């Protein structure tokens, strides 16, 4: 049998028509069924592309010229969009972004879960899909003798110097801009990751959506900070909204942004924000959703699928600082939260006290180990809520949920592929996915969150 060869060669220029999008938002063109993946191509467009990599079953191309543009193509407002790795799909109309995310969930339900009939609703979007990120983690470096702050270029550690980011809040942008000037003025050396020298590695800024409180974290390789007193005075002078300045020490050669040790240089160790009427204290290292407006929509969806009447016992299997747990506790008889990070559990307990919620208890441990113990003690939940990291749930946890035999499971997911894999396991264990609601937590990027209603088969 003749060996099949690819219909294109490296460095060849060809005209193509895009028919689809990948889950990362790249355009897909096909030549005799052979797919070519091209960043920034949109369905329906004709374009000239350069083939840059050829594999047996597919190729990658570079967009050279759009010959016939889609009506869904828009001019990205960010001047460094095509260099920066922060956003991937600013060149799409917002409606196309929402459609792409819905289709992404539909595709994995068909291909991975083999459950094509589960309804996937249109993605819940934002009225204004800009300036939503309440947290900026910005690397600091030096280029041509000048201090630079910005995001890393795609697939590299080259910093793209940036004055303004259209998905960040205005206050975060202002503080990063001013901090760059302050570091330059005080002659503080930015970190050089190639030689593991220098001082300031990252600036992390967090702003409260409902409170306007701002926290600034200066992450350094060194244990102390050069001209610390002047640095703090100058940071405080940027804005009266700054309520907290933290120094974080990270001496390791690592991609992890913050180290273990933090000390408060000014104000409080935490700032406050609200999700609806619930107040949360947020420390420099605690997890808190970066899009507060959409978080409220996500939690409302989880509450809707939980169908609570006030009589239910609920388990929150990745409770973090207790944000979903406390949201549910107002409508349930009792909520038990479990989380592997001790500091997060301390925060969850504090947050319950702050909000005068006394029907929620929080425990440190791995959910897959704690839940079988709870079952042996006679705890029988009516509802289990699970909001795992991108890698999804371990099989042990899925089995522990099935063994507890709740009436319903609410699965909050940040990764459609692992969601589909886990829903397949639950389906084989006697639990049916009834409906999925995608929520756009990260406009202009290819990430999609969703909430799934799962019920026990009778």
Residue for token pair 């083939």: 51
CA distance 36 to 49: 10
DSSP 96: H
Look at residue 201 and give its three-state secondary structure: strand
Nearest residue to 430 (alpha-carbon basis) of 409, 451, 452: 409
Catalytic position from the list 84, 319, 393, 414: 414
| 3 state SS of 458 | coil
**Alpha-carbon torsion, ordered 416, 421, 426, 431, to 10 deg:** 50
- Angle between helix axes 367-376 and 395-404 (nearest 10 degrees) is 20
What are the structure tokens assigned to 423, written together? 């829903």
Q: Is 228 helix (H, G, I), strand (E, B) or coil?
A: helix
Largest CA distance in the chain: 76
Annotation marks residue 414 as catalytic: yes
Contact yes or no for 84/39 (Cβ under 8 A): no
Helical pair 94-111 and 416-428, crossing angle rounded to 10 deg: 30
The DSSP result for 13-27, as a single string, is EEEEEEEEE-TTS-E
Residue 197, C-beta contacts closer than 8 angstroms, at least 6 positions apart: 189, 191, 221
Query: How would DSSP label each residue in 3-54?
Result: PP--S--TT-EEEEEEEEE-TTS-EEEEETTEEEEETT--TT-EEEEEEEEE
Contacts of residue 373, defined as CB under 8 A and 6 or more positions apart, other chains included, come to none
The CA-based angle 216-88-320, given to 5 degrees, is 45
CB 19 within 8 A of CB 70: no
Work out the burial of residue 114: count CB atoms within 10 Å of its CB; fewer than 13 is exposed, 13-18 middle, 19 or more buried: exposed
Please identify every residue annotated as catalytic.
414
């Amino acid at each position: 049998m003749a060996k099949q060869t690819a219909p294109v060669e490296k460095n060849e220029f060809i005209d193509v028509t895009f028919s689809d999008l990948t889950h990362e938002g790249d355009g897909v063109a096909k030549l005799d069924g052979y797919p070519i993946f091209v960043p920034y191509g949109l369905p329906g467009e004709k374009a000239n592309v350069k083939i840059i990599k050829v594999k047996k079953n597919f190729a990658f191309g570079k967009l050279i010229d759009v010959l016939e543009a889609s009506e869904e193509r828009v001019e990205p407002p960010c001047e460094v969009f095509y260099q920066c790795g922060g956003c991937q799909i600013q060149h799409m109309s917002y409606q196309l972004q929402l459609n792409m995310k819905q289709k992404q969930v539909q595709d994995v339900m068909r291909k991975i879960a083999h459950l094509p009939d589960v309804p996937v609703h249109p993605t819940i979007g934002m009225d204004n899909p800009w300036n939503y990120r309440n947290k900026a983690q910005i690397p600091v470096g030096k280029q041509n003798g000048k201090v630079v702050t910005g995001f890393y270029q795609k697939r590299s550690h080259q910093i793209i110097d940036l004055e303004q980011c259209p998905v960040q809040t205005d206050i975060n942008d202002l503080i990063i801009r001013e901090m760059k000037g302050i570091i330059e003025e005080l002659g503080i050396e930015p970190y050089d990751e190639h030689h593991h020298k220098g001082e300031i590695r990252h600036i992390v800024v967090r702003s409260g959506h409902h409170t306007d409180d701002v926290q600034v974290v200066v992450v350094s390789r060194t244990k102390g900070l050069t001209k610390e007193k002047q640095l703090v005075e100058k940071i405080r002078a940027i804005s009266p909204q700054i309520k907290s300045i933290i120094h974080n020490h990270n001496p390791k050669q690592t991609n992890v942004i913050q180290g273990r040790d933090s000390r408060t240089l000014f104000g409080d160790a935490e700032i406050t924000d609200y999700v609806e009427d619930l107040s949360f204290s947020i420390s420099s290292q605690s997890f808190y959703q970066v899009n507060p407006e959409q978080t409220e929509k996500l939690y409302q969806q989880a509450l809707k699928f939980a169908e609570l009447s006030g009589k239910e016992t609920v388990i929150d299997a990745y409770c973090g600082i207790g944000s979903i747990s406390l949201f549910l506790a107002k409508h349930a008889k009792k909520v038990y939260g479990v989380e592997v990070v001790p500091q997060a559990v301390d925060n969850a307990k504090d947050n319950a006290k702050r909000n005068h919620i006394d029907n929620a208890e929080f425990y440190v441990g791995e959910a897959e180990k704690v839940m079988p113990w709870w079952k042996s003690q006679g705890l029988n939940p009516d509802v289990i809520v699970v909001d795992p990291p991108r890698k999804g749930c371990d099989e042990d946890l899925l089995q522990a949920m099935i063994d507890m035999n709740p009436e319903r499971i609410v699965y909050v997911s940040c990764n459609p592929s692992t969601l589909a894999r886990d829903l397949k396991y639950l389906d084989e264990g006697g639990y049916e996915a009834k409906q999925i609601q995608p929520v756009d937590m990260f406009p202009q990027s290819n990430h999609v969150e969703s909430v799934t209603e799962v019920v026990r088969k009778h």
